[in-house]
Structure 1
Amino acid sequence: MNQEHKGYVPLTRAEFSTLTSQFARLLSTEHPPVIIPGEAILGIEAVAAGISAPGRTFINVVTGPYGSLFGGWLERGGARVVEVKVPFDEVVPAEQVAAAIERVKPDAISFVQAEVVTGGSNPAKEILRIARTHNLITVTDSVSAVGGEELLVDEWGVDFAAVGAQKALGGPNGVSAVSISPRGWEFMESNKAAPRNSILSLLDLKPSPTGVEPLRVPPNIPALEARALIDALAAVEAEGLDNVISRHRAAAASAVSGIKALGLEPWQKDSGHYSTLTTTVRIGGDQRLRIAQPVGIVAPGDGELNGRLLRINHFGVNASLQSVETAVTALAELLETDAAAALQAVRAAWGNAHA
């Protein structure tokens, strides 16, 4: 095989700088994010390993399985973790977070911004505002949220934000990023237990704080996927991030209208906090909706949610009218009912979203 093939040439410093700049613009931050040579879950675990230590107290918001996973990693590092947990068909009320902060007096707070698995989106901006008033270190798992909803890292005061491209951004999942504020770096550097010389070490990947020194390309970054990611982020910039977010909002509104027209109920209880990336459908006792395998972008629930909900994955290229129509038609077929009225509702909602 020709070793000069694009996928076999190591990523250049110029390409790496392009990727870092793209992520910084995407996240509205002046600070170069850390590029993670792996799937976004690696960056999330690396954050937990880098900031967790005995003597530190975290409030960890749990509104889905990924919140539980992050809390376990914090505990593994010796931190005290106090959960603020709600049922998985709800998002966390900001008032509940504020009350927990007053009671616990933590050092930091962590939460998942958008729960693709449950179809809910936590009130990130309000949670972060509350955290800033208490001078807390803030950690967001924004892997699914980025591109589907706003994430203004510097303005909102996010110290650690893990992001990936495989959802709303329509990119590969083999390269991801973690945005870290100067305050976040200080919090990590003050942790003697933070990993070094490890796949979980963010400190080993720290960019130059001045920007004068050239960015170092991690030796194990997969060049082929990094280039695909550069192309995906360039496409997002060409479409315009606001337009990408609007497209996801329209897809969500259309999907919700479609399932309601079929007589189905959204899994999430609060209509003001539906995810823009997935619409989840409550199964209840309807055996017709208990599918074992995905039907297009209609998928069964993950883990403990299997058999309790269905998920319409309208993110990335599937944040489109055609994809939502196809998904609603698939649900109508499972219910053995006519899809015409539901499709009319889908189209009306799409049109209203773009009016």
Structure 2
Amino acid sequence: MPDIGWNPLHGVPSYPAERYAALADRIGGILRSRNDILLVQAEAVVALEAVAASLARPGLTALNIVTSPYGTWFGQWLRRGGATVADIVAEPGRPVEIEAVVKALDASPRIDVLALVHAESASGILNPLPDILGLARAGGIVTVVDAVASLGGHELDVDDLGIDIAVIGPQKALGGPAGVSALSVSPSAWNLILRDGAPRDSILSLADLKTWVDGNRRGLPGTPAPLEFFALETALDRIEAEGLENVVARHALAASATRAGLAALGAPVWVPAAKASNLVTAVPVPEALEPASLIEAAGWLGVEITAGVGAGSAHLLRLNHTGPRAAFQTVLSNVVAYGTALRQAGHPADIAAASEAISAAYSR
């Protein structure tokens, strides 16, 4: 009989049911939220669709801020459920302007839900979350925040900001698995979700997931994937050992050092620091140069530089300093590889000055 070998991943023990509640509480601590925490056994885009599917129904009115494909999808999901949706579409690849939000709120007699993405890894921008949430709170509007790319990279205090639904995925700044996600749900959000009946018997039903909370969080519905939850535990162990404030500071330093290196290199950045994400730094490709050729040249050095995603991002490249990449070695490699790619394409780039600037940023 042939030896088929043994893979220990095939024999993973079940994740203990009593640890789901503790896991949810740890996520609540990172979110700084005392609201209900739900665990979703899928990547974060499923949790986002579940939020839209659970809220949407005829008669619901929503203001949906679009700064990437994710915002576009969320609006489509709401409309699919019968909601009336007004999109605020930002300039391509740019954060939304607060004046546009004020104008849209003033033009709408009633808004039930306001949805937006906090930080966009697609284009490296940061939306003005506190200002937008302040406007929503003043109007008694339930807020939905996609914090998948911001948690751990930026300050995020769900209760202090008054976020009603925050959706997270641990695969970004937390450096965890992509196959599990979570969300916090406030009492106001539950009132809206459960009003007039809520969708049931679906993987997209938050009302179904609420039965776990109502049943003293004894065991998740469905068949949990133990590998994902063990991996999430390990990621949270790392975050708690480092300290969330230190994780955020590490990402802020990586972003600042990247920008300093690019400035010394002679390369512009896409948006000013106040409007930029700490997860990736986007750079506009110089005219007459092809993004694909720069990506390929960096790849020969073993460095992954990626193209921007979404409308207006075709001419952008992204330098990734997310999660474990938010470190001196990666920041230096990113900028040096980009500079080398520029020089190979015949464009000037001061790599020595860039290296010095990054080293100085990390020496302070």
- Structure 1 length normalisation: TM-score? 0.92
Deviation at 1:236, TM superposition (A): 0.3
1:196-216 CA distances to partner (integer Å, 9 max, x unpaired)? 111111111115667x82432
Match of 1:283?
285
What is residue 149 of structure 2 aligned with on the other side?
144
> Number of matched residues?
349
User: In the TM superposition, what is the alpha-carbon distance from 1:89 to its structure 2 partner?
Assistant: 3.4
Q: Which residue pairs with 2:360 in the alignment?
A: 348
1:265 to 251, 265, 268: 268
- Is the 8 Å Cα contact of residues 51 and 206 (structure 2) preserved in structure 1? yes
Q: For residue 199 of structure 1, what is the aligned residue in structure 2?
A: 203
Alignment of 1:315-334 (within 5 A): 315-334=322-341
Aligned to 1:231: 234
1:323/1:118 CA distance change after superposition, 3 Å: same
Q: Find the aligned partners of 1:19 and 1:83 in 2 and give their Cα distance.
A: 35
Change (3 A) 1:290 1:19: same
Matched, 1:183 2:183: no
Pair 1:62–1:304, CA change in 2 (3 A)? closer
Match of 2:317 among 310, 314, 322: 310
- After the TM superposition, which residues 1-355 of structure 1 pair with which residues of structure 2 at under 5 Å, given as runs? 8-104=12-108, 105-192=110-197, 194-206=198-210, 213-268=216-271, 270-287=272-289, 289-291=291-293, 295=299, 296-304=303-311, 307-336=314-343, 337-352=349-364
Query: CA offsets per residue over residues 225-252 of structure 1, 9 Å max, x none?
Result: 1111111011101100000000000000
Q: State the alpha-carbon separation in 2 of the partners of residues 304 and 86 from structure 1.
A: 10
Alpha carbons 2:122, 2:310 under 8 Å: kept: no
Letter in 2 for 1:249: A
Contact 2:168 2:182 in 1 (8 A): yes
Offset at 1:303?
4.7
Deviations for 1:153-199, whole angstroms, at most 9, x for unmatched residues?
Answer: 1121111111001100000100100111111111111153x421111
Give the number of the structure whose alpha-carbon radius of gyration is greater. Answer: 2
Q: Counterpart amino acid of 1:237? A: E
Which amino acid in the other structure matches residue 359 of structure 2? Answer: R
Are residues 109 and 303 of structure 1, via their aligned partners in 2, closer, same or farther at CA, if it must alter by over 3 Å?
A: closer
Q: Which moved more, 1:300-309 or 1:104-113?
A: 300-309
CA distance in 2, matches of 1:101, 1:303: 26
Q: CA shift at 1:273, angstroms?
A: 1.4
CA contact (8 A) 1:11 1:217 kept: no
Q: Which amino acid aligns with 2:231?
A: A
Compared with structure 1, are the counterparts of its residues 345 and 5 closer, same or farther at alpha carbon in structure 2 (3 Å cutoff)? closer
In angstroms, what is the RMSD of aligned CA positions? 2.1
1:74-104 Cα deviation digits (max 9, x unpaired): 1111111111111133211223212211211
- State the Cα deviation string for residues 276-298 of structure 1 (Å, max 9, x = none): 10100101414154346673242
Identity of aligned residues (%): 38
Gapped regions of structure 2 (runs ≥ 5): 344-348
Cα deviation for residue 123 of structure 1 reads 1.2
Q: Is the 8 A contact 1:50 1:191 kept in 2?
A: no
Q: Secondary structure at the match of 1:287?
A: coil
Contact 1:6-1:224 at 8 Å conserved across structures: no
How far apart, in 2, do the equivalents of 1:251 and 1:108 lie? 34
- Cα displacement (A) at 1:315: 0.5
